[in-house]
Every structure is written in C-alpha cells, then in structure tokens.
C-alpha cells in the first residue's frame, strides 16, 4: 500500500485514526471477506436467495469499528452534534482509500457505505427534526440501511430531467407515488428501512429544474414491489441492485424533503462532498489489484519459460504503468477533496469531474493488467479480481458516465477562451512595442 | 453485419453455404439463445446444477444444421472420406465469423465447437482405426462431446513443458494416470464421453519435448473426480470449465495417440488450422457487439439531454473506431487463414500470432464501448454484453496469452535484422558510387 | 519489406513490374536520396534558396524510370490512349507502397507524385483537347509540374465551401482572379507551369456546391506573387509548400474546367482513385521506419547495459506492435483500392475513409517508436526519421483531417440503425415463437 | 494558466516572487521570443551561422531578471553565501513551471537554464576555491555559459559506463584528453567558456563506477574542434547541440573535480534536484500548448461546417483529456519535488522516475492534439507548436529514455513482493482463525 503523498500533511489526530483504521482493515475486514461470502451462501442466480439473510459478520465488524472510533468518518466537521471524528474531505480521502482496500466490507463496517452516506447527508442538511429522529439517528447508529430511488428503466439516466415517477397529492394530507425504478442499491437489503425517492410533483412546471421533489418512504409501505434483483456480471447481495415498482404508494406530506419542487437543490446538496467517495475508495481497490499483480509476478511457483513473471519486462511495464497511473489518480482525488474543503463543491467542479473520469478508468486498467498476469485464474472465482473488475466497470457509470464529466471539464476549460484571446493579443502588442526598440 | 471483404473471393458453392448458414444463425440460433438459457435453469453458483441437463434445444439445432449441410464445416478438405463440405481455411473463416455471431449456440449446432474440433482433428490425423471407430465416428455424427485435459493448476500454463501429470505403465498392458487438471472445457458436460489427456510418460527424458504423451481416456473411467466447476465471471454450463482430479486412472496402452513421447507432435497437429477458430468467431462476436452499440445509439427512447446518443460525437467516434478495428482484425484473420491454406500452419506462424493478439483485444474494446454506451444496463444480465465481455476477456488467455504471441511476432521480425543490415549497407555503398558521378 | 499479402493475387505482368520497380527503388532511388539533398544545397530557412534549382538527379531518375516502363503507373486502365501500364487500383496499391519506401524520390521519378497525379486525372477526365495539348501531354512526359490552389489561409479548410477566392468575368472573354492561397505544394517549384485553381464564380448561388469553379492558370501569369515558402518542421524544396497571392490575374474563359459552377464535380473526380495514394505510399514509409527500428535494435555496437536493444522485451513489443499495425493498415489500403476497382470511389467511401484515418496514425506511431529506439539520434538530421516524422504528422491533415473521415465512417455505420432494429426485433419475435414450442 | 494546486501551500515570500515572475514571463519573455528569433537571423541549415551572434535581447532580459530578484532561483536554500532566493525544490517547481511557459527565453533570462544549472551545482558542491573563483562566480553573475560533455556518438548513451573518452596524465602535471562527444548543448554558444567533461582516467579499474573522472576544460583550449551542429528537426542556436572532437586537449591536473575515479559521484550530485527541472518546465510548455488549443478552438474565424471548432465534441475531449493529463502530471512533479525536499534525491527515486516518464509523454500528446486542432498550420513555422513538438519529442531522451525510468519504477515496486506475500499469507491465516468462530 502506497504511503500518503508527502504533500498531504496529516494532523496527529488523523495519523492515529489512520493507523487504527489500517489495522482494522488489514486484520479484520480483508480476512473477513471470505466469511462474508460463506455466510451469504450460494443463492440461485437472479433470485433473492442471497438477500434473505444479513450476514452476521457485518454486525461484528460494525460493533468493532464503533468501538474503535471509526464510525461515520465520512460526515465532515461542519455538522456539529453528531458522532463523527470531524474530518475534512482531504482527511477523509486518506482514510477512505484505506476503506477501499476492502471495498465489500470496510465501508459497511464503518457506516461509510453508499448510498447510506448520501442519505445521512440529506437528512443532516435538510431533514426536519421529526425526520431526523425517525431515520437519521438510527442510521448514524448503524441500525438501518437506506436506498436512493432515482434511476428509471428505459431512460437516459445521465440526464436527471427525464424522471417519470409521479408524486401526487391526494387531498388528504398524503402523497401518492407511482413509478418504476431500477439499479436501486440496498433496495432489497433486509435491513433497509428507508427509501428516499426522486419524482416529479410538478411535471409541467416551466422551469425544468423545479419539477422534481424528494420524499421519504418507509421501506415496507404497501404498493412497493421488488420486481427483481439485477446482476452486474454477478449478483452482489445483500447490498445488490434491484428493480422496484411503486404503485399507489402513500406517504404523509410531512415526508417531503425541503419542500416541493426543491428536489434538484437536495440532489446537489446530497452529492456535496460525497461526490468523490467512490473515487477515494477506488484508489484503495487499485492498490489492492496492484498488490495482487506484484504477488503473482513474484510467485515463486509460476515460472513460464523458467523465469519469474516479474522477470519479463512486459510485466514490469504493467507494474510501473499501474503505479504511475494510481499515484497520479490519488493526487487528483486528494486535490479534489482539498478543493471541496477550501472552495466548496461548486468551487471544485473541475477537480471533482477530473477525479470521476480518471479514477474508474485507472482502476479498470490496473485490474485488467492484474488479470492478464494471472492468466485464466484471474477471471475465475479463485481470485477476487473478476469481482473487482465487475465493480470497476460499473463505477464508470455511477454518478454519471465518463462522458458527462469529460464534457464538464471541457466546458470549464473553454471558458478561458476569451481571457486567452486577450492575453495572446497582448503578447503580440507587446512584441510590436519591443520591435520598435523599446527597452524592457 | 459487414459483408465479406471484396478481396476475398468466394466460390458459388461457398456463397450458397454462407447464405444458408446466415439464415440458420439469424433465424434459429440467435432467437434460440434465450430458450437455451431457460432450459439450462438457474443452478446454484459454483455447483453442478446447471450441468445436470443437456438442453434439448441443442439437439434440435444440431438436427437442423445437419439437414442443412452445415455440420463439420471446420474439417478442411484435405481429410477425404468424412462428411464435411470440404472448405479451405479461408472459406471456413468466412463461415466461422457467422457462427461467431451466436457464439453460444451456432458452433455447437454445427459441430464446430471447441474443444471438439481439436479432438476430431487429432483423431482424423493420428487416430488408429480402432480409436476412430470408438470415438471419431460418433463425434462426427454429433453424438458425443470431448474434453482436452492439458492445463494444470499452479503452473505457468503458457509454457507447456511444465506439465506434471504422470502417465505410467503398469506392466500389464495399461497406463496409470495421476494428476490434476483445470479449466477443462466440457469436462463436466453430460454428453462428454472422451477425455484426451496430455501428461508425461518420460519426465526425465533429456529432450524436453519428448517427455510428453497423449492418451485417450473414457470419461467414466474409475479414478476420475470432478473437483468443482470454475466460474468465469459467471458459470457457463453445460460446456463450462472444471477442475478434474485423476487418481490411478487406468487405460489400455492402445489408448496412446501416435506413440509415447510424441505428445508435442500431436499438440502441433491438433492446433493446425484450429489455431484461429477462436479469432474467426470473435469477429462475429465483435460485429454483434457493434450492432448492439449502434442499436442503443439510435434507440429513440434514450435521449440524454434531448439528443439521440448517436448525435454525440463521442459515440460516433466509438462507433467509427470499432468499425475500423473490426475490419482490420477481420482482414488479418482472413490473411492468416489464407496463409495456412497456402503455406501450412508453420508458414503462417506470424499471421496466426498476429490474429491471436489483435482479435481478442479488439473484441474486448468493442464490447467495452458497447457497454459504455448502454450505461449500467450494459453490465447487467438484461443485455448479453456482460456475458460477451467475460468471454472476450478470457479469450486473451485461450491458446496462450497475448504476451506469448507478441514475443513470437517480434522474434520473427528480428530475424530480418541481418538481411536489413546488408540492404542498408548496400544503400550507402550505392550512394558513394552515385556521388562519384556514376550515371544511373 | 513485407511481401504482398497472400490474399492479393498479382498477374504475371504486375509481378514483373513489381520486381523491376523494387530493383529501381532499392538500387537507385533510396541511394540517390543523399545526392538529392546535396544538390538542393543548404538554403536559408524560410527563404527561396532551396527552390532556385531543380536537382539534376531527378531528371536522371525520371529518364531511367521511363525507360523501365515505370512512368505514370498511377493512371488506371480506364483511360485509353495514354502511356501507362494500365493498372487497377489494387495493383497500383501494391506498387505505390514500393514507391513509398523512397517517398522523396521514387514517386517523383515515376511521375506518380502529388499533386501532379491529381492534375493529370482532372485533365484526362475533364480537359478540352486544347487544354490537354497545352498541359496534359507535357505532364505525362514528365516535362512540367503543376500546383493545386485550393486551401486558403485563415479558413477552416476541412470544409471546402468556405473558399473566398473570386473568379470574375471581365466581359472581354477573360476571368479575373483575386485571392490568397497557401500550402500550395509545387507552387514555387521551378518546373511548375500550371496552377489549377479553385475559386468562386457564383458566391451567392443558393446551392452551396454550385458556387465553385476551377480554372487553369499559367504559372507565370502577371498578378501572381509567391508570398513565402512555408516550413513543415523543415522546409522541403523543391516541391515545398508556399503561400501565393493572386491579384487581378487574367486568364481566357477557355481555361475553365468542365464549366462554371462545376468545381465540386471536378473536385470529386480529381480525388477518385487518388484518394488513397498517400495511404499507399505511407505503408512503404512505415515499413522503412520499421526497418530502421529493427536495424537499430540489432546494431551490434549499441549495447545498453550489455545487451542488444533487441534483447529488451519493451523493444520487442515496439517491433511486434508496429508489425501488427502495419500489416492491418496495408490490408485496409488494399481493401479500399479493391473496392474502388469494383464499386467506384462512391461505393468505397467507407473503406477510403478508414484507410485515411488509420494509415497516417499508424505511420506516425511506427516512426515515433523507431525514433525512441534510436535515442536522441532519432530526432537528428543523422537519420531520416525526423524528416519522416514531419511528413507523417502532416499526412494526418492532407485530404482532410482524421476527424472528417472518422465522422464519415460513423455516419455510414449509423445508417445501419434502422435495419438493425428490424433484425433485433425479429430475433425477439422468433424467440417468442420458439418459446411457444414451435419446432425449428 | 492553471493555478498552483491548492494542496501546495506557498509562503508569502514565494507568492510575491511568483507574481513578479509571472509578470516578467508574460509581459517580457513571451513577447520577446519573436525578437529573439529575428536577432538570431536565418542561418544556413546545419551551418554555424545562427551561432555566430549572441542575441542582445537575452542580455536585456537577464539584466531585468536580475533587477527583479529572479536570478538563480534554481539554487536550493542549502547553499549559503550565494545570491539566490533560497527556495525549496517544491517552491522552485512552482516557479519553474512559469519559466517553462517561455522555455526558450525565461530560463535563460533567469540564469536557470540547462546545462548551466547542473554545472553551477557541481561547482557549488565539489568545486575548489580556485575553480569557484575562476568559473562559478562568473556563472552566477550570468556572464558565461557552460557545456556538459558526456554523451558520445555510437554508444548506447542511456548506460553511462560505456564512455570511451580518455583522460590521461602526461607526467608533467597535466591531463591529456582524447575523445568525441555529441549532443553538447551550448557547445558552440559564443558565450560558453567552460566545458565540463566526463571521461575515463582508469578504464581498466575493476569497479566499473570508479573508472570515470570529471575535468574542467576552458572552452578555447587547443585541440578542441566543433565538428558540426546537430539539428533536432530544426536547429536551435545559440544554445544548440553540437558534436565536438577533442584531440590531445591539455588541462592542468588541478582541473579535476573531486578527484580521480569519482566521476560517478559527481554525476549523482550534479543531478540531485536538477533531475526534474525539465519536467517542471514541461508543465509550463504543456499549459501553453493547451492555451493554443483552446485559442484555436474558440477562434471565431475558423468555422468548419459552420461551427466553432470548440463546438465539436471531439475537440472538447481533446481539451478535457489534455487538462486531466496536465493536472495529474503537475501534481506528480510537485510530489517529486517535495519528496526531494523531505527525503533527498535518493529517497525520491520513485517519484523522480515517474515524473520523468509521465511529463514528456503528456507534453508530446498535448502538443500533438493542439497541432491537430490547428490543421496544417500547426506543423508550420506560423505557430510555435512545431518547435515545441520537436523539443517535447527530444525530452523523452534527455536524462535517459522513458525505458530506463520505467524499469526503475518497476524495480522499486517489485521490492514490495516479499512484504506482500507475508501480508496476504497473513490475511489467509486470519481468515482461518475467524472461520473457527473467533470473535473479532
């Protein structure tokens, strides 16, 4: 595992936390991964089997993480009154990478897993006291999970204005919700108690960004049907991703978040610092993949043509290239985190977008190289690489595809156009002055 | 589907066969894929469930293919006396691409699936009359399948001299076989009747390539244990890949192929033209992936930011790049096939190696782009892309990893060194002559 | 030099011509390159010095090429009555690659150099008898050169509708031409006698493609000023590229080609088969660059860390990758040539576009690798690689940038959309039929 | 120009210096580049013409830089007693990027140009008082230049043990030097007064790294012949690169640096912090190239197919990709600089190697994209891009080719192998413990 880059300075408090966390991830989470898999059991592909049981190892790990002060690290220090170490985004970035080494278990163990982090941020920022009491407190204690119901089937989901789910008043103090959602992480998790849903209260509102609202729905409200669990290469219960049908689901109007027509505002706030959590964790995943690559390259048993794999220059280039890509990606993630700390999410738009494009692509490439060095074993269930690959590939869509963020970066860069034309015209003008013999 | 490149001229016979095959693949095989999946059923991951039953749709397809004259097309025309259309490798390349469009079913339907094709080639070339009668005839009729037991766990399997399975004489007219094999395609297929095994009869022979022999083992010989089925991202019964333990497996000495110590010779012969069958099929897979990409790009329902995906220049570049890569890869495959026809497998070493490196990489990239354009749906079970991706990734190891073939190409190219030095010295010498005023 | 791919069959006539040409290029043209450079002399950068003299070696080479029957090979066999071997595009493709090995001298020696080939095609196709007599005959004899005046400064020249040069009637039987052109190859060549100019006769014509006309201008007509020679990394006299100012240049109306408003038509015809001549030659250049790479890799004097450069696997991968890229690019060029032969330039749009994108990029990459293996010497004047690199980089703009052709490929591919939707809907419908138990 | 990344904190002193420097580079150096080019004049290619005169603009700029406190910024703060702002490597990295925007003039203006910086470091560290007085003081005042004579023709110069130049004692208190050197930057600069030469005093010493020594040679010592100036695409006087012949060149034994056989030691010291100066400047170059790209993309006159180039998504991706690559490369350079500050050059081996591989490649790619967006003008002398490209391409060899540094990174990474095996064995052991029911 690469050390934190020297240009990032950690306070003694964070250094200590980091050391505790490293110990927890290396000695508890990673070794527990196999236990987790065994406890999940082998359910039929595409059925709910693997979702019927909440593996006890998670509760054990959560208890331990809480006792070690590792719970809720994601909550930044500007939310007073909540049980969190109070970290800056940069500090959390450093720790989140360590969580990412055991991406299946460590974030969950530390109550820092998506989409719960986003839900908690929404409730902290916009929740009423009643909403907080009902949901947030239990979530911060790690008792329940939540799901975020936004994406809909057959929509170009990278554009959020396309949502078709309806949230309608029934005139009796309730909202009635109808729609279909999919890719709902945690939707079928047996511990999930809260659905946080994006729909349209005013589909005809002339301002496209005022049509949406967000409401809180208790998981077991009548009218909710889990249609099926989706697979991503493999299925990954209990968190998983499912398709959910909502038919005349009724919740009291108090369950609105922030107010009608303010869905976009909440969405922005929800994604504040959380925007780069995936990227932070992905760095840890990439390091683990590179570890696997180096392990295989130096495996004394594997000697194609009489040499260690590490003796082949091609393998050395795979290693060096991965190291260079990861180290650069990490710096970018830390830069984005630091920009959020210093200028807020809006001031860090460019850095966030860059991290979102670069990191999942780097992760996919590093894992792909690790797979290649392993040979066929690398795509089998014998190594975690195949599963890591599936996650990495998916990451290139999570929070919007590469394409959306790349476009965003270009847009920001192109804004410099006018200033640049002025500067370069200035160079030419100054050259003319100098040509006429003017002294510097 | 792209037409056969104009520089490849087909005889009327092959054109007709091609037309029949296209019809069969488009109207029977591809539509039957879902039936096949349903008939397989949902067995527990990693268990044998999906291998217990041979889906009836395969038998239906095989009967139809046979009646259409599409059986055993892979067998080149230099094997007289067998029921095959008698195609050149180039001609088969054209047809094999079409098989590749439905890579799950079409090759199987036409008795052109690996590893059975390799087994049949071995028996045709090297089999005794008794061996042919016992195995080959039934295989050519499509009654049974076979497995090829070469790869071993914990070995650098790209180097075949590392095999540790032992084949020992017991002094009573038998061989006794002990060893462990994995990645055995068809090993657990209920219709498999023949194992064709690579092991060492003379592990201490001073010539490293004389240590190996190949023996034929009836599938249900005592001492054979299916240890487990391996998964490649997903499992893929009934063909699948399994790990097999052989403990004191006894076969009569007549089951040797070609003779003791001639295993390498058989291996070379086995891989003759078959070396590029995977590449041929992969072109068809790539075309299907590109079809899916174009379909999604022109899907009128998907309109991110109000535009068809096809209206984004990034998507257009993904399409154009895929087209350019596929068309070049196809030409390379056809060149390799033609070289095998004209100069034999040995004379086509370079072209074969190039096809093996290029095609699987192109396939992986094209599928990856198709996945990206689909968004998260692309990695789900809703589209065949995730499964295609898994196959494509695996293809970069099948018949040796990229690295081995790339090295081979470099080696052949470097042989030109001496001739080049002479040529360039010649240029300089001739320049000197010209500088001295000599007329051309 | 790689042999012609086996799937391309050459007639005995072409095989013989090929053998003569190889001999001529290897033993006369390549060795003469240094003579040519010496005869050009060292003129001041950016000045006309190097353009003042037509190096005598060219005349010698042209005489020899003519005597060997190698003159005007580019002219396809559908132009009867002209001194040409009468080759198909595919056949010329094979020979043009050989010309490309000595890209500076061999095309010029064989009267197959741009832009003269285009000019001759225009005159053959559209010239009046008078025009042919005045210009074409002398060009076919290799006595004079021509320039093609199309590109204009400060225009997005990949879009030909932007031309601003005016061609106006003076009412006295003349056209008066005013405008500024640049990147005019041969514009300043002392042997150039003909300018063939694209301008607008009807700038306000409602049909954008009817505004342009093409006129023939004798090189030394009053009103023509060579503003300067442009450099491309280095300058490359005597062919070079220059900027030309046309001020009230007067030519008789008889000098129009095909008729007023038919400029686009002529442009299309001009570029018929010639569209891929650059690509054909570039394959030869790429082979020469790879030769240089292999030479340096096997240079016994260069032994970093005690090994030949060829012993480093990274260098081997550079070689193998180059070989794979070149061989695929060659096949693509030959495919495009063959498609032109069989379906005309319009029917080969896709193949032409692919060749235009792929080949210059491959060439640039192969040269870049060769440069890298040479170390700093590779970018010096000691090797031809730096100059080759400059040409290769330029080739990515010649006849339109990569971007235009890539877009074209995507457009053609997207046309398949509708058909694909129908086919895939058909699969689903057929699956339903099969699910209902219908026999195949 | 991108701002310094927020994770790098600058002291008020450095912030002020940065502001002064930016003003100087933007308003004096960049506008003066054209003056410089005019003053150099148009000498014959490959001849000495352009080297005969030292352009007066340099003296003007140097005087101004000195008056602004911008002289000798490269000298780190651990050399007391010398006129330098006393910057850390990280601080200099920030400023050096700004110098890199005008790479032709700004480093020279601020006496921070290679190879003079290396020479000054050698003299500061290892020079005797006499040597310092004779050379160093004048160099620090900017009165003279120096050349570093290491590379030899026909050697694999990435391996320094291959040097063949001999330094022999004559028994009369002198060294006699014989050899041939090339790629000698500043070798022919009219202001160069000092050659610092690497040769062998003990070619047969059993320890390969004790054979070399370094001696100081006054430029105009008899026996020194400038054989020729080398071109890199173009020549670049007055700094340039030349080939030098040394025949019986005699210098007093006092001119040895540090002592006989200690050449390698000096070489290591020379390259201490200076190892990444090229990379630092290259970031500035890359920013300037990206500026040019954005300028052209937003040029209102260039409208292919009726749109700004910036409206094409392909161009937007070129811009965004360049921004992502540059920002990551900058962070890597700053990380390397910071590691040198904190752990010395030895402790920063990995980071230095990564910066050396990544930055020149990024620079080449960014310039290549800028060229492409400009069309043919991009490779002409009308834009600085062609010259920038030539420099960028060369940078991939300076201080060793990509290959050497990549190998170094792999080597360092592979050292983790043993530790990793232990860690992963530990995971497995811990899993076993957990499987036996042990509580966390």
Strands D145-149 and D192-200 come out as parallel
Whether C65 has a pLDDT exceeding 90, the answer reads yes
pLDDT at D46: 41
Helix (H) or strand (E) holding D217: strand D212-218
The residue assigned the tokens 């020279």 is: D108
pLDDT, average across residues B8-21: 95
| Domains, chain A, with CATH or none | 12-113 (1.10.540.10), 145-263 (2.40.110.10), 271-418 (1.20.140.10)
pLDDT score for C175: 98
Q: How large is the average pLDDT for residues B205-224?
A: 95
Taking the CA of residue B109 and the nearest CA in chain A, the distance in Å comes to 26
Q: Please list every residue in chain B whose beta carbon sits closer than 8 Å to the beta carbon of residue A389.
A: 233, 393
Please state the ipTM of this predicted complex: 0.92
pLDDT confidence tier of residue C47, bands split at 50, 70 and 90: very low
Closest chain D C-alpha to A139 CA, distance in angstroms: 23
Interface contact D304-C154, CB threshold 8 A: no
Choose the closest CB to D358 out of A294, A324, A434: A324
Q: What is the mean pLDDT of residues A264-275?
A: 82
B184 to chain A: nearest residue by CA? A376
Q: Which of C151, C375, C406 sits opposite D397 (nearest CB)?
A: C375
> What size, in residues, is chain D?
440
Question: What is the structure's pLDDT at B235?
Answer: 46
Please report the sign of the dihedral spanned by the C-alpha atoms of residue B101, residue B106, residue B110, residue B111: positive
| CB nearest to B379's CB, from A154, A233, A314 | A233
Residue A304 is nearest to which of B154, B159, B232, comparing CB atoms? B159
| Average pLDDT of the segment spanning B103-129 | 94
Round the average pLDDT of chain C to a whole number and report it: 90
DSSP per-residue codes, B312-328: SHHHHHHHHHHHHHHHH
Instruction: Convert the pLDDT of each residue in B149-201 to its tens digit.
Output: 999 987 776 677 889 999 999 999 999 999 999 989 999 899 999 999 999 99
Average pLDDT of the segment spanning A187-202: 95
The answer to whether the CB atoms of D44 and C44 lie below 8 A apart is yes
Q: What tens digit of pLDDT does each residue of A245-255 get? A: 999 999 999 99
Question: Would the CB atoms of D379 and C232 count as touching at under 8 Å?
Answer: yes
Q: What is the pLDDT of residue A45?
A: 41
Of A6, A317, A339, the CB nearest to D339: A6
Distance from CA of A178 to the nearest CA of D (A): 37
In our burial notation (b when 16+ CB lie closer than 10 A, e otherwise), range C364-388 reads bbbbbbbbbbbbbbbbbbbbbbbbb
Instruction: Choose from B180, B368, B380, B383 for mutation: most chain A CBs within 10 A.
Output: B380
Of the ranges A11-25, A339-353, B76-90, C407-421, which one carries the lowest mean pLDDT score? Answer: B76-90
**pLDDT the model gives residue D230:** 81
Instruction: Please report the pLDDT score of residue D233 as a whole number.
Output: 65
Is B30–C410 a contact, with Cβ atoms under 8 angstroms apart?
no
Placement of tokens 């790049």 in the chain: B321
Q: Which residues contact D176 (CB under 8 A, 6 or more apart)?
A: D167, D168, D169, D170, D248, D249, D250
Closest Cα in chain C to D303: C156
Cα–Cα distance, B76 to A328 (Å, whole number)? 53
CA contacts within 13 A on the Cβ side of C95: 33
**pLDDT single digits (tens) B279-291:** 999 999 999 999 9
Alpha-carbon gap, residue A290 to A97, rounded angstroms: 14
- d(C-alpha D28, C-alpha D40), whole Å: 18
Cβ contact (<8 Å) for D407 and A320? yes
Contacts of C312 in chain A (CB under 8 A): 313
- Mutate: best of B57, B58, B294, partner C, most C CBs <10 A: B294
The tokens of B154 are what?
């914990």
pLDDT above 60 for D237: no
Q: How far is C34 from chain D (nearest CA, A)?
A: 15
Q: Do B314 and D314 touch (CB under 8 A)?
A: yes
Considering only CB atoms, which chain D residues are within 8 Å of B312? 313
| pLDDT tens sequence across D386-439 | 889 988 998 998 888 889 999 999 999 999 999 999 999 999 999 999 888 777
Half-sphere exposure (CA, 13 Å, Cβ side) for D81? 5
Mutation for testing the C interface, residue in A304, A309, A313, A314 having most C CBs under 10 Å: A313
A204: tokens are: 């005809």
Is the pLDDT assigned to residue A41 strictly greater than 70? no
Query: What pTM value is reported for the model?
Result: 0.94
Q: Collect all residues of chain D within an 8 Å Cβ-Cβ radius of residue C305.
A: 156, 159
Q: Do C375 and D158 touch (CB under 8 A)?
A: yes
Asked whether the bond before D254 is cis by omega within 30 degrees of 0, the reply is no
Q: Which chains are within 8 Å of B by 3+ CB pairs?
A: A, C, D
Contact A6 D335 (CB under 8 A): yes
Calculate mean pLDDT across residues C206-210: 92
Chain-chain contact of D407 with A313 (C-beta, under 8 angstroms): yes
- Residue-wise pLDDT for D316-367, tens only, equals 999 999 999 999 999 999 999 999 999 998 899 999 999 999 999 999 999 9
Helical segments of A68-184, H only: 89-101, 106-109, 116-126, 129-131, 137-140
Name the strand (E) or helix (H) holding D168: strand D166-169
For residue B394, give the nearest of A232, A303, A379 by CB distance: A379
pLDDT band at D234 (very low <50, low <70, confident <90, very high): low
Better pLDDT: A308 or B80? A308
Average pLDDT, chain D: 90
Taking only the tens place, the pLDDT of each residue in C143-162 is 999 999 999 987 776 677 88
DSSP code, position A155: S
Across the A/B interface, how many CB contacts are shorter than 8 Å? 134
Q: Which residues of D lie inside 8 Å of B (Cβ-Cβ)?
A: 312-314, 317
Q: Are D257 and D131 in contact (CB under 8 A)?
A: yes
The alpha-carbon gap from D157 to the nearest alpha carbon of chain B, in Å, equals: 22
Q: Give chain D positions within 8 Å (CB) of C227.
A: none
Across the interface, do A375 and B46 touch by the CB < 8 Å criterion? Answer: no
Q: Do C435 and B34 touch (CB under 8 A)?
A: yes
* D167 has pLDDT over 50: yes
Report the pLDDT value the prediction gives residue C157, as an integer from 0 to 100.
65
CB contact under 8 A, C317 and A314: yes
Answer whether A379 sits within 8 Å of B393, measured CB to CB: yes
Calculate how close chain D gets to C179, using CA atoms only, in Å: 17
| Min distance C310 CA to chain A CA atoms (Å) | 12
pLDDT(A43) > 70: no
DSSP, collapsed to helix, strand or coil, labels residue A432 as: helix
**Per-residue tokens: A440:** 């510097």
Answer yes or no: do A314 and C312 touch at CB < 8 A: no
Most B CBs within 10 A among A363, A374, A397, hence the mutation to make, goes to: A397
In 3D space, the residue among D119, D163, D143 whose CA is nearest the CA of residue D274 turns out to be D119
CA distance D143 to chain C (A): 29
**Could you say which DSSP state residue C440 is in?**
-
Do B379 and A393 lie within an 8 Å CB cutoff?
A: yes
Q: Can you say how many angstroms the Cα of residue C148 is from the centroid of all Cα atoms in its chain?
A: 13
Nearest to A324 by CA among B185, D202, D362, B421: D362
Cβ–Cβ < 8 Å for B140, B120? yes
* Three-class secondary structure of residue A184 per DSSP: strand
Contacts of D329 in chain A (CB under 8 A): 328
Question: B175 forms bridges with which residues in the sheet?
Answer: B169, B251
Q: Which of D156, D183, D371 sits opposite C393 (nearest CB)?
A: D371
Closest residue in A to D408 (Cα–Cα): A320
Provide the pLDDT confidence category of residue B45 given band limits of 50, 70 and 90.
Answer: very low
Q: Which residues of B touch C418 (CB under 8 A)?
A: 298
């Amino acid at each position: 595992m690469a050390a934190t880059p020297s240009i990032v300075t950690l306070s003694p408090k964070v250094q200590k936390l980091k050391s505790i966390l490293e110990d927890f991830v290396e000695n508890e989470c990673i070794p527990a991964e196999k236990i987790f898999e065994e406890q999940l059991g082998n359910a039929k592909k595409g059925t709910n089997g693997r979702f019927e049981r909440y593996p006890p190892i998670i509760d054990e790990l959560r208890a331990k993480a809480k006792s070690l002060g590792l719970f809720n690290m994601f909550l930044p220090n500007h939310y007073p009154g909540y049980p969190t170490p109070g970290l800056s985004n940069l500090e959390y970035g450093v720790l989140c990478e360590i969580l990412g080494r055991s991406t299946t278990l460590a974030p969950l163990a530390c109550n820092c897993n998506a989409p719960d982090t986003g839900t908690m941020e929404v409730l902290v920022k916009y929740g009423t006291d009643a909403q907080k009491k009902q949901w947030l407190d239990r979530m911060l204690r790690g008792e329940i999970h939540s799901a975020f119901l936004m994406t809909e089937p057959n929509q170009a989901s990278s554009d959020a204005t396309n949502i078709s789910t309806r949230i309608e008043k029934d005139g009796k103090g309730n909202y009635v919700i109808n729609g279909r959602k999919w890719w709902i992480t945690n939707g079928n998790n047996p511990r999930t108690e809260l659905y946080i849903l994006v729909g349209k209260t005013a589909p005809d509102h002339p301002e496209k960004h005022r049509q949406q609202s967000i409401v809180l729905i208790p998981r077991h409200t009548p009218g909710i049907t889990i249609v099926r669990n989706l697979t991503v290469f493999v299925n990954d219960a209990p968190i998983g991703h499912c398709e959910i049908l909502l038919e005349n689901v009724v919740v009291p109007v108090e369950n609105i978040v922030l107010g009608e027509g303010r869905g976009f505002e909440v969405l922005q706030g929800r994604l504040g610092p959380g925007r780069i959590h995936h990227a932070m964790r992905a760095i840890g995943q990439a390091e683990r993949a590179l570890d696997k690559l180096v392990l295989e390259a130096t495996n004394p048993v594997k000697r194609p043509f009489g040499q260690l794999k590490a003796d082949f220059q091609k393998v050395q280039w795979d290693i060096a290239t991965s190291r260079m890509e990861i180290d650069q990606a990490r710096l970018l993630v830390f830069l984005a985190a630091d920009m959020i700390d210093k200028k807020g999410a809006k001031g860090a738009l460019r850095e966030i977008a860059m991290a979102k494009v670069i990191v999942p692509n780097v992760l996919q490439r590093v894992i792909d190289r690790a797979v290649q060095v392993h040979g066929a074993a690398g795509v089998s269930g014998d190594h975690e690489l195949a599963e890591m690959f599936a996650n990495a590939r998916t990451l290139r869509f999570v929070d919007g595809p590469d394409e959306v963020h790349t476009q965003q970066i270009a847009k920001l860069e192109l804004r410099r156009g006018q200033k640049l034309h002025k500067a370069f015209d200035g160079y030419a003008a100054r050259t003319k002055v100098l040509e006429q013999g003017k002294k510097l």
